[in-house]
Amino acid sequence: MYTEETQVLENKNAGLNYYALTLAAPYISAAARPGQFVMVAPSAGLQPFLKRPMGINVISAEKGQIRLIYRMVGHGTRLMSALEPGQTIQMLGPLGNGWRSIGEGRALLVGGGTGIAPLLPLAEDLSGAGLACDILLGANSARELVCAEEFTQLGHCASATLDGSWGVHGPVTLLLPQAPPAYDMVYCCGPQALMSKVAEWAARYDLPCQVSLEERMGCGFGVCMGCVCPVADAGGAGGYAYKRVCCDGPVFDSREVKW
């Protein structure tokens, strides 16, 4: 885990209210793994005081850079959208436990909304290892299908939009195979409703499934206890316990999560 004063290299619009922020971060990029995240200061000043958790969209250790995809939804991300090349902001990372890769076989990746972005480094790793993967992407509209062109180069890719402007008209879960699928791992990131449905679908066919959870975070490394989520009790009595999304996750086995 490093604290870096990172320089903004690019901060461009990537779709409807979406931005792609490229940062010079030699230490974090060298240590980061797919599925991990960073805590980013929204501006060069002290307001707002708390950093924002952001999943890493591109890891380039060779260039010493990372890229983040974020959606402008509040005060912090509005400040981020105003960052210009040459400015410096503080960033902490890499944080959390990322995706667990499969050694061989075929994988299914399912992403929705902002949850599409953190799946890209995973798809690159799987493709680089010569593993086959199917990729299902869902968004409200075509303008919100971030990184879609990059995914098409890494596996068989299909899309769905709620307004029907691209791909299948409806939720991305319509693209899930209805016959018993031959996947060795399912990966999912997106809204909780999407992840719970994918987890249910994977359980129906007894497929291993990993999900990346999102919660509000204060620190990002387990001290503030502000991002706990309910998980199955390890005692097996049918109850539940709590784990911290920031350091126990953000990636969890879908069967562990109490949806």
List of domains in the chain: 2-95 (2.40.30.10), 99-212 (3.40.50.80), 214-259 (2.10.240)
Q: How confident is the model at residue 232 (pLDDT cuts 50, 70, 90)?
A: confident
User: Above 80 in pLDDT, residue 17?
Assistant: yes
**Region 138-165: what's the mean pLDDT?**
96
Exposure class string for 116-148: b at 16+ Cβ within 10 A, else e: bbbbbbbbbbbeeeebebbbbbbbeebbbbbbb
Q: How confident is the model at residue 209 (pLDDT cuts 50, 70, 90)?
A: very high
More confident residue, 192 or 45: 192
Predicted TM-score (pTM) above 0.85: yes
User: Above 70 in pLDDT, residue 129?
Assistant: yes
pLDDT at 97: 97
Residue 253 three-state SS? strand
**Region 97-111: what's the mean pLDDT?**
94
**Region 120-142: what's the mean pLDDT?**
96
pLDDT at 76: 92
User: Above 80 in pLDDT, residue 74?
Assistant: yes
Residue 174 three-state SS? helix
| Per-residue pLDDT tens over the stretch 184-201 | 999 999 999 999 999 999
Tell me the HSE value of 131 on the side-chain side, using a 13 A CA sphere: 21
**Region 99-110: what's the mean pLDDT?**
93
93: tokens are 């990372």
pLDDT at 85: 97
Measured CA to CA, the distance from residue 225 to residue 244 in angstroms comes to 7
Sheet of 156-161: strand order equals 168-169, 156-161, 132-139, 106-112, 185-189, 209-212, 251-253
User: Above 70 in pLDDT, residue 80?
Assistant: yes
User: Above 90 in pLDDT, residue 27?
Assistant: yes
**Region 213-240: what's the mean pLDDT?**
85
133: tokens are 């993967």
Measured CA to CA, the distance from residue 121 to residue 40 in angstroms comes to 19
**Region 56-83: what's the mean pLDDT?**
96
Q: How confident is the model at residue 21 (pLDDT cuts 50, 70, 90)?
A: very high
Query: What distances in angstroms separate CA 80 from CA 18, 30, 97, 127, 183, one per listed residue?
Result: 11, 24, 25, 32, 38
User: Above 80 in pLDDT, residue 237?
Assistant: no
pLDDT at 238: 66
The residue behind tokens 């980061």 is 32
**Region 35-49: what's the mean pLDDT?**
90
Least confident of 9-13, 196-200, 229-233, 244-248: 229-233
